[in-house]
Amino acid sequence: MSPTTPELRWLAFDTSTDVLSLAVARGDRVWIQTLPGGAQSSSGLIPAVLSMLAEADMPLASVTAIVFGRGPGSFTGLRTACAVAQGLAFGADVPVLPVDTLLAVAEEARWQRVQGGAADADLSVLALLDARMDEVYSAAYQWSAAGQSWQGVSALQVSAPENVQSSASVLAGNVFEAYGPRLNMPGERCVALPTAAALLRLAPALWAQGLAVPAEQAMPLYIRDKVANTTAEREAMKAQAAAAKAASNP
């Protein structure tokens, strides 16, 4: 890093599954934490974020961007992530960097392979997350080892497990225990979640592509028919965003 190049700092979190995943990066140093998610995310996320930032001696206002999993995933989890990202970003006057959770699953699967000793070679991954209601979310991605980049090769979709089709060499996600026998595809199976560590690895390239947005654009990605929140849900999101803003700007 040259003297004139600012140090990249990231706060990342994902609450789209039953796991609450958080990470902070300051240059090459990374702090990672995994906590129970689900209903506990709404009350536990802000205190955990502030604690990690303090441990890293990194004021929230100094982060390059707040990176979060925007979906698809649990409706409640996505609303929590968006509300907290929005409130923290407003309070600290920093941008947000939304990331597709299925892309994060693909990246986590790639990283697991590399950490396990596999060569960092071109790789095709079908990312799958449990959508409940007897369905799965899915999307296919291609990793270019030469370009060190991901390319989406199929649209995000939600369907019954037996209706998913792909020729990807790796199937990755959290669906195998519940739906494994119904996935009628060959390929290596890798249990993977959209971790905050995966979000951190994706963040620099997405930032360089100009995909960071202002706080008010921290919105969830739904791919089911439900496209609007109820009045109660909107009020809950506002309350969470206000609490996050107050926490980031005491």
Q: What confidence tens digit (pLDDT) does each residue in 41-74 have?
A: 778 899 999 999 999 999 999 999 999 999 999 9
pTM for this prediction: 0.88
Phi, psi for 98 (deg, rounded to 5): -75, 140
Q: What's residue 1's pLDDT? A: 47
CA 241 to chain centre: 18
Which residues, listed in sequence order, are joined to residue 66 by a DSSP beta bridge? 11, 96
Fold of 101-191: Nucleotidyltransferase; domain 5 (3.30.420)
Over residues 130-146, the pLDDT tens digits come to 999 999 999 999 999 99
Over residues 81-128, the pLDDT tens digits come to 999 999 999 999 999 999 999 999 999 999 999 999 999 999 999 999
| Distances from the Cα of 210 to the Cα of 89, 97, 148, 169, 203, angstroms | 17, 9, 17, 30, 11
Identify the burial level of 36 via C-beta atoms within 10 angstroms of its C-beta, where 0-12 means exposed, 13-18 middle and 19 or more buried: exposed
Instruction: Tell which residue, 49, 78, 77, 98, has the closest CA to residue 202.
Output: 98
Q: What's residue 234's pLDDT? A: 53
**Cβ atoms within 10 A of the Cβ of 179, count?**
19
**Stretch(es) of the chain classified as CATH 3.30.420.40:** 9-100+195-248, 101-191
Over residues 214-234, the pLDDT tens digits come to 999 999 998 875 444 445 545
Q: In this structure, what is the dihedral angle of CA atoms 104, 209, 7, 15, given to the nearest 10 degrees?
A: -30
Q: What's residue 224's pLDDT? A: 73
The H or E element that residue 69 is part of is: strand 65-71
The CATH homologous superfamily for domain 9-100+195-248 is ATPase, nucleotide binding domain (3.30.420.40)
